[in-house]
Structure 1
């Protein structure tokens, strides 16, 4: 249990021979050994160990080995529980996967050593870590078979967040678990239906707008804006206290549904759609386009330059954009120009109709998933596009959808990609990219998404923001970081403890400006 001294960290040491090693080892291997050791770490009232089935967690002493041979207190940890769980999950999905298990050089004792150092700076006795070296091949095979047997059967294992959890399932637990799975399945089905419905509605609206536009032109209206089409919302630049490298920031009022003062999103409005399209059109001169792709270029011109609604963008428009973003034959300059056009389009209030068409291809966010590997100009343009999508409620909600999709063998979601981009950009050494990244962080925090996925992401966002604070950011970036931390701390119960343990303390930046001090006060109320 937790105390002022922290949470106890124990090393459970098991003898796989149950006391027979001292008796039989002289005859088998020609020397006496005290035991064939298997270890695990017990912390937060759970036992964690590694074997052929990967990282396993169970109640202390809950394996088939029974009670440990002995228990050693390694120390106490002050690492927050959620941070520790995230760390274990990282090990389970990277260096300590089932396929990575090696009895000699990568086994349960190596895992215990690594976890002990992270939790409290403790160590597994060296003779235990080095023990497999003295075992003959036959004994090694027997030991590995026994360790593999520690993995619970499929009827007794629950896989959660990358870590198998062993539990004795009561009838009540099985009933509850079945109900939970049914609810999850229903939720996934509803999300799928919602996606399909949104796409159908978008197509229907586009067809309706085309008919209205055609009737208006045939009637001699001349100006398509005189029909029943909705006009884009005008967004006027409103410079902040410090000029942004990516351009002046502007704010739009959004509905306030939270008890904390809600600031409008930070967006970048110095992007002229007509100018960006002209650059894109010129860059495309070196690209061989199909007839359909040329039509998509004409449609983009109508949308950005002539001010038509998103209804002018045909069904193949995103296929064309997907080719530009993902084809290895396309020059980087062309992608930058395309992304700048999309960043301008993101400011239009009907852009969500286009985004919903990307639910099947996911060409935009699949590209952004690997943004850290893209050339710097592409990173800046793509991050600006995502930031500007916060200009309107419908497009910002699209960025934070939690439904999962597959791309390049990975299971992703819109919210995961958005968070990854914001973290990467906020911690970039490039000043312009950091400016857009901190704006993204700020916008995500002010959206206050009420989902389990966002609860888990709060810690990741909080850690990135603390790392940003350590770099002594400029006042504008400091204000955005503190504002985001204040809102995330109010949303996630684990984050205040993380702020108190990891640091740097937000109080260290008091006096930078009045608005920064105001956000620090909100943070410290949660931390204390």
Structure 2
């Protein structure tokens, strides 16, 4: 590496290979020098953005051949590892393949943003401002087809869902990935243990309820029934510990310790949740939206179980094994109207405020009906995005459900390798950067809740850069004071978790000091951030 840093080049291609300058006067009435496509070349790799997302390959190896022009933009001192994480963050947010638009959000906009990140440079204005009128409809169709074929066979490295498919990463980056993979394995083992304990607790609760019902049927009422049931449970609690697993007493002690720890964390950093939601009212709305929908006997039973849970106040033990299959159908069956999905999500948001909701969440580890649906948030109607944002925010009410949102263990969903933390992050970023104020409310709440969690660093290694980049982008939108405070508070916490965040703040900007004076608590967070940046 040279003392001034790694060179950053802009490769400029004319997609018409010179025909635009020859034919444009007769077709358009004025001369167009070229139809420009650009890519950033750095670290001996060429990066560009198209309809398939962000791709990386050997410089000049696409079907376009040699570039029309190469422009030296400058040099960068951004570490290779940090740059890769930055690119992966873009690939799952603003520069996902589904976000591509030939005119409004294309390769040139990507090159300009990456150039600013690396060395503070810009793509030439005449390339960025090439007017739509210069591209007649037939040419647009041809260009879309051409851009879809730019990645050569055998050398592609498309960034999909933040996962690099290239095998040409640096040794340091590969070492980091290996460490993360080892942590994932440990996390999977912990997840399995948590699930086992959760299932035992659920079985125990069902067993208790059956005993109470039996005692009531035998003539016991009120306090007598409760006392008799508790006496029977006390006798059983004295049974020896089984070699097959923890006893009921062990599970009770562990549950109590978790509740105590949860209360300590809540008192120190209370999550942003939305308690002004009535489960009984939401269930009534949900039931009405399902009128006319043909439900199977199992689905009708699940609906009745939800009523017992939300309206009658029964424990989560009443929700049977088919409940999440029922919810999954409502969320995925397009023949069911969107209002039903919104109502179902609001019912789940009310359920999320209860401390036993985690028992339901752990049942979803096979189908992934909830987070699989959440992964498609960018494709959902705004109303469903609102309901989903509310649900995910309220899951931070309890430690067990918030930890579920942050699991890093990977799972397959419709051909994608996902994890709970990545889906949670996607929901957060999508809401944060929305033009809808109420969605920003949920997005900044999620950002604050995620950043305030005391979790192992490896969890934030997965998403820290992406969250920080989204936070920096949001500050440029002049958010209201509450949203700005949450965002800066999260940035300050993320800067404590990762040394890369202060680098991003310094390199990418904007300077947090520009927002001084909004309020005393905003200024306090800016002081914390600037101590890390300097």
TM-score, normalised by the number of residues in structure 1:
0.67
- Counterpart of 2:168 in 1: which secondary structure? strand
How many residue pairs align between the two structures? 414
Q: How many Å separate the matches in 1 of 2:439 and 2:113? A: 35
User: Which is further off, 286-295 or 410-419?
Assistant: 286-295
Give 1:460-471 correspondences, 5 Å limit: 460-471=466-477
Report the CA distance shift for 1:498/1:2 in structure 2 as closer, same or farther (over 3 A): farther
Task: Identify the residue that residue 450 of structure 1 maps to in structure 2.
Answer: 456
The Cα offsets for residues 6-54 of structure 1, whole Å up to 9 and x where unpaired, read as 523177xxxxxxxxxxxxxxxxxxxxxxxxxxxx9986xx54369xxx8
Deviation at 1:79, TM superposition (A): 4.5
Task: Identify the residue that residue 361 of structure 2 maps to in structure 1.
Answer: 355
Task: Identify the residue that residue 155 of structure 1 maps to in structure 2.
Answer: none
Counterpart pick for 2:45 among 43, 48, 51: 48
Deviation at 1:328, TM superposition (A): 1.1
Report the CA distance shift for 1:115/1:385 in structure 2 as closer, same or farther (over 3 A): closer
Q: Is contact 1:448-1:491 (8 Å) kept?
A: no
Q: Is contact 1:9-1:73 (8 Å) kept?
A: yes
Deviation at 1:208, TM superposition (A): 2.4
Q: Is contact 1:9-1:119 (8 Å) kept?
A: no
- Counterpart of 1:308 in 2: which secondary structure? coil
Report the CA distance shift for 1:473/1:253 in structure 2 as closer, same or farther (over 3 A): farther
Q: How many Å separate the matches in 2 of 1:349 and 1:92? A: 35
Deviation at 1:518, TM superposition (A): 1.5
Task: Identify the residue that residue 511 of structure 1 maps to in structure 2.
Answer: 517
Report the CA distance shift for 1:480/1:360 in structure 2 as closer, same or farther (over 3 A): same
Q: How many Å separate the matches in 1 of 2:92 and 2:427? A: 21
Q: How many Å separate the matches in 2 of 1:479 and 1:162? A: 37
Q: How many Å separate the matches in 1 of 2:41 and 2:177? A: 29
Report the CA distance shift for 1:382/1:77 in structure 2 as closer, same or farther (over 3 A): same
- Counterpart of 1:406 in 2: which secondary structure? strand
Q: How many Å separate the matches in 2 of 1:225 and 1:275? A: 30
- Counterpart of 1:75 in 2: which secondary structure? strand
Q: Is contact 1:346-1:388 (8 Å) kept?
A: yes
Q: Tell me if 1:523 matches 2:529.
A: yes
Task: Identify the residue that residue 220 of structure 1 maps to in structure 2.
Answer: 220
Counterpart pick for 1:290 among 283, 288, 296: 296
Task: Identify the residue that residue 8 of structure 1 maps to in structure 2.
Answer: 6
Q: How many Å separate the matches in 1 of 2:90 and 2:522? A: 37
User: Which is further off, 387-396 or 184-193?
Assistant: 184-193
Counterpart pick for 1:325 among 331, 345, 351: 331
Q: How many Å separate the matches in 2 of 1:178 and 1:398? A: 22
Deviation at 1:206, TM superposition (A): 4.6
Deviation at 1:315, TM superposition (A): 0.8
Deviation at 1:165, TM superposition (A): 2.2
Q: Is contact 1:210-1:312 (8 Å) kept?
A: no
The Cα offsets for residues 423-474 of structure 1, whole Å up to 9 and x where unpaired, read as 1101111111111111111100101432434224111111111111111111
Q: Is contact 2:92-2:426 (8 Å) kept?
A: no
Task: Identify the residue that residue 163 of structure 1 maps to in structure 2.
Answer: 166
- Counterpart of 2:167 in 1: which secondary structure? strand
Q: Tell me if 1:389 matches 2:395.
A: yes
Deviation at 1:222, TM superposition (A): 5.2
Task: Identify the residue that residue 307 of structure 1 maps to in structure 2.
Answer: 313
Task: Identify the residue that residue 264 of structure 2 maps to in structure 1.
Answer: 255
Deviation at 1:320, TM superposition (A): 0.6
Q: Is contact 2:183-2:458 (8 Å) kept?
A: no
Give 1:51-62 correspondences, 5 Å limit: 55=56
- Counterpart of 2:340 in 1: which secondary structure? helix
Larger Rg: 1
Report the CA distance shift for 1:348/1:503 in structure 2 as closer, same or farther (over 3 A): same
Q: Is contact 1:93-1:162 (8 Å) kept?
A: no
The Cα offsets for residues 162-196 of structure 1, whole Å up to 9 and x where unpaired, read as 33227899xxxx9x999979957953762574366
Report the CA distance shift for 1:326/1:493 in structure 2 as closer, same or farther (over 3 A): same
Q: Is contact 1:326-1:367 (8 Å) kept?
A: yes
Q: Is contact 2:185-2:409 (8 Å) kept?
A: no
Q: Tell me if 1:204 matches 2:200.
A: no
Give 1:122-271 correspondences, 5 Å limit: 161-165=164-168, 183=182, 187=186, 190=189, 193-194=192-193, 197-198=196-197, 200-201=199-200, 203-218=202-217, 219-221=219-221, 254-256=263-265, 262-271=268-277
- Counterpart of 1:268 in 2: which secondary structure? coil
5+ long unaligned stretches in structure 1: 12-39, 59-71, 98-110, 124-146, 152-159, 231-251
Q: How many Å separate the matches in 1 of 2:154 and 2:379? A: 41
- Counterpart of 2:341 in 1: which secondary structure? helix
- Counterpart of 2:513 in 1: which secondary structure? helix
- Counterpart of 1:277 in 2: which secondary structure? helix
The Cα offsets for residues 309-354 of structure 1, whole Å up to 9 and x where unpaired, read as 1011111111111111111111111111111111000000000000
